[in-house]
Structure 1
């Protein structure tokens, strides 16, 4: 009879404990940062906190994995770069609690010291020469600093924590991809082809976006875009020939279609994409605002792509992830380009499917979801499939399940949050059941998989219940870290 009141008391006491022990001590520093952001005339995305803790997530993931496994030279480079950026961000976060000048002043001693530390780490652990260090290590903190300030210049688009993760990911990824191509850091089957296709796709999209930005608004017509697209396609072919060789087209055809399993996987992905496009067009024509639960449908469809790719063919999903990311950036650029009728159609879809976090210059929620699902690919190839599925479990399964169950059956809300305790519990349960089924049918082979998932899902779900940061971006990284700290159980 008294079980329900006792549960409510336990939940209330847990809420108060978390707030008093963990959140309130951070709020003092968070308020100082907010004041300095306002003094520097920086308008971040409206949220309850700045996400000061987010800068630690990606470096922890990369550094811990490089210690746990015998990783490739490219992975060592990523870990060293992240360690240098971690040091820079520690300095940066100390100074932003003190003064707003860190946002307005030029590149200072912090970048110089961080550049020297990054260079020392890369020189010591990557075993490349001085020119390599000068190209890919020393400039990294400077580039990061410039990019971070640029991201924060877009009003109401990023919180500080989100901007830091985006800048870290971009700087490290570009450095590693270019270094791989120039120095052949990763020696494995199809590495040159996969890296060449990804570089070609991203650089071609970058060329199109840059051209659109340079054009005056009145010059942006559909006919001119067709010319730009044609020139970009020619550029892509030439670059692919340069990066991969004269046989790049036959190599790509063989890679994609001459493997029966890979061809079936591509057909399955195409069917999911067609379903997503059909639903998107149908809902847009109805002009009916999508609910949170409706938006999570796309999480499940995208999770189906990433999950099957990770479980069946890592090389293919790595290539597809790079190409797909470029296409998403291109779609967002076209939405903002005022090229009719393309921009109007994309804007109509955006208005239907946008949520309260898409209040800034760009529609970042789809990009965050895509990156979140793909964050599991950060795990080395030697890591268990369970860890490579971290993004799928946290974003594609847990977050979607929590949203549906919380909206339908949730009553008890977390203190100061719109999320329900029932949704959080179902978040944990859905991840556990997914891993249990995958283990039951021998789809994944990992010792103590269910127990490790219980720990990781609990940690991730509690953070999801209390954070104001975009969960698609931070939850996969937290899930990976939780799996890393249960590594001994595998």
Structure 2
């Protein structure tokens, strides 16, 4: 009797899963058809990755529940709920018609604004006008950027990837504005004040350079004009640092990095890794030999070494370096697209050698995703007991696991997951490599976190299976999935 009951329950679950799968598949197929009818060309994949829109908001909301986070973090979590609400409405709109890309439809923006505004006002206790104002800014910006990313830059994103990217940009910009101009969270820590001030200055200076490059016409795209733009941006950066840190800002920054031997060692190691990467790129570009997947994955290893060493030895210096590095990555991509020779042509030659099948759009998103995937836990993970392990989400999932799966699967993989290129052998090696790295770290006593091996095993299993099954960009999705897996084992820490 019990066996019969279990069989019935199992059959009902299987039927439910089948119906849900059919509904999701039919919606995805209808959206693909509407995109084609509207001449909207997304990055070539078998699915649109619609489920990706919930990843970042879920990470933020869960951390705001599980940890004692700042007022600014809670603000971002509530705003992200409004963004995911608009994402759902956007999916519904696109499944009906492609007109959402062509007409200004603000109904979804109004409803989504009210969702986050009510949360800010009723739950967090923010002022009503503050709640409505910032909710409207976030949702309207997200709506505009989402449309632009899919219409102006063809073949660059899937819908899911565009949602994750635009959510990240909007929340990061809103957080920066609230922190530095609205004083949502007062900065009591002098070291973090210095770090945040430098990161804000670097990123805003890069924004000025990129904006200036975008408005240049072809006759103005010369090295002389570029040097002038750099001079203006440098002057702006010095002015901001003087206001934020005082007249001795450069001296304080130099002292912070150079007057501590551990920081000097880390800095030298990171510079060495950067020189190795640049040297390899220059040699292969000069030889004009197209890089294969294994060669490209070597940069995953170099990036992982940088972030792993920084997280294990000095998280705050790593945060400073990650912010400055993000500005450099964005600037390099802007220069590649700028048409300013000889810089643009040299960067384009390197891109032609190292680009893969996913880099068919307007921008080289794969290396940007790699960097952001390694660095994003530094922003997303609040400080709490055992948080150092969660900061390694990007290193474990894409730096080690994805690289190991790619190498082992291409060499020894025989049994494939369905019709895709991923193999069972690669997935198993993906999981084992992450667990092995954690075991090595513990052997050398570099990290002491309760139940670290169990938590890494769970996170590795989740990210390994997701890596094998999805067709979205791994560098963007897997760190967020790994963070969610760590959150599911939060009680163990």
Give the deviation of 1:406 after TM superposition: 1.0
Give the deviation of 1:327 after TM superposition: 0.8
> Do the aligned residues in 1 keep the contact of 2:71 with 2:184 (CA within 8 Å)?
no
Taking the TM superposition and a 5 Å limit, the aligned residue runs for 1:326-345 are 326-345=327-346
> Do the aligned residues in 2 keep the contact of 1:269 with 1:305 (CA within 8 Å)?
yes
1:72 equivalent in structure 2: 70
1:361 equivalent in structure 2: 362
The alignment's TM-score, normalised by the length of structure 1, stands at 0.93
SS of 1:381 mapped into structure 2: coil
Alpha-carbon displacement from aligned partner over 1:109-134 (angstroms, at most 9, x marks no partner): 21112112222222345554455435
> Do the aligned residues in 2 keep the contact of 1:181 with 1:195 (CA within 8 Å)?
no
Alpha-carbon displacement from aligned partner over 1:409-459 (angstroms, at most 9, x marks no partner): 112221121111111110000001111111222222222211221111111
Q: Which runs of 5+ in 2 are unaligned?
A: 1-13
Taking the TM superposition and a 5 Å limit, the aligned residue runs for 1:296-307 are 296-307=297-308
Alpha-carbon displacement from aligned partner over 1:380-406 (angstroms, at most 9, x marks no partner): 111521111011100100011111111
Give yes or no for the alignment of 1:474 onto 2:448.
Answer: no
Q: Distance in 1 between matches of 2:18 and 2:133?
A: 46
1:175 equivalent in structure 2: 174
Q: Distance in 1 between matches of 2:361 and 2:213?
A: 20
Taking the TM superposition and a 5 Å limit, the aligned residue runs for 1:126-137 are 126-130=124-128, 132-137=130-135
Give yes or no for the alignment of 1:204 onto 2:205.
Answer: yes
1:379 equivalent in structure 2: 381
Alpha-carbon displacement from aligned partner over 1:280-302 (angstroms, at most 9, x marks no partner): 11111111011101111100111
Give the deviation of 1:253 after TM superposition: 1.8
Distance 1:341-1:368 versus aligned 2 partners, 3 A rule: same
1:13 equivalent in structure 2: none
Q: How many residues align?
A: 474
Selected match of 2:406 from 383, 403, 406: 403
Q: Distance in 2 between matches of 1:487 and 1:246?
A: 44
2:36 equivalent in structure 1: 38
Distance 1:23-1:415 versus aligned 2 partners, 3 A rule: farther
SS of 1:417 mapped into structure 2: coil
Distance 1:137-1:248 versus aligned 2 partners, 3 A rule: farther
Alpha-carbon displacement from aligned partner over 1:31-61 (angstroms, at most 9, x marks no partner): 0111122233211000111000000000010
Taking the TM superposition and a 5 Å limit, the aligned residue runs for 1:66-215 are 66-130=64-128, 132-153=130-151, 154-182=153-181, 183=183, 185=185, 186-215=187-216
Query: Comparing 168-177 with 125-134, which one deviates more in the overlay?
Result: 125-134
Give the deviation of 1:137 after TM superposition: 2.8
> Do the aligned residues in 2 keep the contact of 1:384 with 1:445 (CA within 8 Å)?
no
Query: Comparing 294-303 with 39-48, which one deviates more in the overlay?
Result: 39-48
> Do the aligned residues in 1 keep the contact of 2:53 with 2:163 (CA within 8 Å)?
yes
> Do the aligned residues in 1 keep the contact of 2:149 with 2:157 (CA within 8 Å)?
yes
Give the deviation of 1:20 after TM superposition: 6.1
1:226 equivalent in structure 2: 227
> Do the aligned residues in 1 keep the contact of 2:412 with 2:425 (CA within 8 Å)?
yes
2:6 equivalent in structure 1: none
2:9 equivalent in structure 1: none
> Do the aligned residues in 1 keep the contact of 2:401 with 2:433 (CA within 8 Å)?
yes
Q: Distance in 1 between matches of 2:123 and 2:447?
A: 32
Query: Comparing 480-489 with 178-187, which one deviates more in the overlay?
Result: 178-187
Alpha-carbon displacement from aligned partner over 1:132-153 (angstroms, at most 9, x marks no partner): 4355333110010001111112
> Do the aligned residues in 1 keep the contact of 2:114 with 2:132 (CA within 8 Å)?
no
Give yes or no for the alignment of 1:447 onto 2:446.
Answer: no
Q: Which runs of 5+ in 1 are unaligned?
A: 1-15
Q: Distance in 2 between matches of 1:107 and 1:313?
A: 47
Give the deviation of 1:83 after TM superposition: 1.4
Give yes or no for the alignment of 1:50 onto 2:65.
Answer: no
Give the deviation of 1:240 after TM superposition: 1.8
Give yes or no for the alignment of 1:370 onto 2:371.
Answer: yes
1:394 equivalent in structure 2: 397
> Do the aligned residues in 2 keep the contact of 1:107 with 1:145 (CA within 8 Å)?
no
Q: Distance in 1 between matches of 2:417 and 2:365?
A: 26
> Do the aligned residues in 2 keep the contact of 1:369 with 1:472 (CA within 8 Å)?
yes
Query: Comparing 387-396 with 223-232, which one deviates more in the overlay?
Result: 223-232
Q: Distance in 2 between matches of 1:333 and 1:404?
A: 31
